[in-house]
Structure 1
Amino acid sequence: MTSSTEATSETSEAEHHPWRRLLAVLGNITALTALLFYFGWRRSEAQADALGLSQSILGQGTQDYLLRSINTLLPAILGIALTGLLWLWADPRITARLYAWSAKTQRRWLLALSLGWIALPAAAFAIGILIPTPATVFFPLSIGTGFLFTAYSAGLRRRLADHHERTWADDVFHVCIAVIVCLTLFWAAANYAQILGKHLAAAVNDNPSQLVPVVVFSEKQLYLTAPGVGVTELPQTSGEPTYRYDGLRLLQHVGDRYFLISDGWSQSVGEMIELKDEDSVRLQFSRLHR
């Protein structure tokens, strides 16, 4: 009877096991999508703010934010992977060296590692006085790395003491470290997204000519008066546009709307123009001459 009950229990668990995996995967996808959306939004907001615009008027959707967040998260994912490989390579070598040292030297090095959560942020803060922009990314990373060093030193102490039994306190400690590391990674990635958005905006403010040139043809007068925009009234021909606008650049395309700036755009002077994709207006794009 007991064996039959155990078999039924194992069968039931096996049946539910794929569903648990599926739920775990869906949960991870949801969390990743939320992160991508946030980082894309943060980058777009910083860029719009640096251009002197409101991010809300650009009307970007979820897909736009997701696409704009990829180049923000790729460096973070690559950095985590490389750090993990480096740790796998260094861990056995560090352990072997510790066993070869005296007890006094071991204590000194373990103490230095355990104080990483103080030493690394302090060093990053000092460097930030000289180079403040990169420090907004390095400072949160230094906090997470410092706590990882602290956790690593605790693990090395257990190895040297031949104490491998884990208690509930060890589990709580590792969970807290994991939460801190995740939060600092999120903090650093958000700051990097903001820096990237400001950098993109600065490139536009300094040199609008790097954007794709646009010529607008319209059947009616659009009254585009941005600095640097020229209008030409074309000969009247049935079914052909009668107005041509030059001196425009494509800032962004979202859905059926085109957001344009003029060649006279600068950080202090400039207007953004929004045009909808409709029959009465035709946009002609030109190649960039580099």
Structure 2
Amino acid sequence: MKAIWKTLCAAALAAMTAIPVFAQDKTIKMGTMSWEDLTPITGITKKVLEDKGYKVEVTTFAEWGIAYAALTKGDVQLLASQVDYVAQDYWEKNNRRLEKISPVSHGLFDGIAVPDYVTITSVEELNDNADKFGGKIIGIEPGAGIMRETAHVVDEYGLKLQLVEGSTAAMTAAVKSAVDRQEWIAVTVWQPMWMMPKFNMRFLEDPKGAFPPPQTYYWIAQKGFAEADPFARETIASVYVPIEEISKINVAVADGKTMDQAVADWIAAHGDLIARWENNKAE
């Protein structure tokens, strides 16, 4: 009888340990910014977690300060962020209560860009060709971080071109008009942005390093998240979205798709990659 009882207990224990962690009813509260670089990262990671059995609730924020406050308070558990640049101040202020989970993309970059048919390759060549650019670098909204950086670049290189304030919409319209006419134009722009692949644009070289270097996106969480749920941590760490793919998703949005549809279509077209992520060692 005792032997039978031991056998039954062993079988029950084996059955329990065979049940994966994700079979439990688990919810992950994920934060995101309402921006064209972070929304695709969030949507793709959400899909992978859901395929692993998690319920994912997404909260969208418009400001880094509010997003980091929500993360430190526990209103959300995860947030994709650049910790060395765009949100550096918020990370440094709160990082004792937070932890990096994993890098999820790399290549966030601001710079001065031109269409491919423009023959110069460096910021240093702008002055010698100022007339071809109408004496202007077309910018976006005043107060934007990229405008401050570009103003610094103008000073650093002693550029004679005027940095023109405006809006993102006006800048993109100016690029389309110039490309249609094969005219020279220089603009402030960032990677990933749909305009770069859409209009075959490239960044001018910055030999003085006046613009910040390319930055990495990380998933960050409340401290203790990885220890509390190592399966979720490993699942999240399996996801890596190249910056060029984020740009492609945003081109689809610029062409008329909703962000949700563009992300869903990207996931459908990359089933093999998603499967590799989902079959990582977290299994």
TM-score norm. by structure 2 comes to: 0.27
Bigger strand share: 2
Q: Which has the higher contact order (CA 8 A, sep 6+)?
A: 2
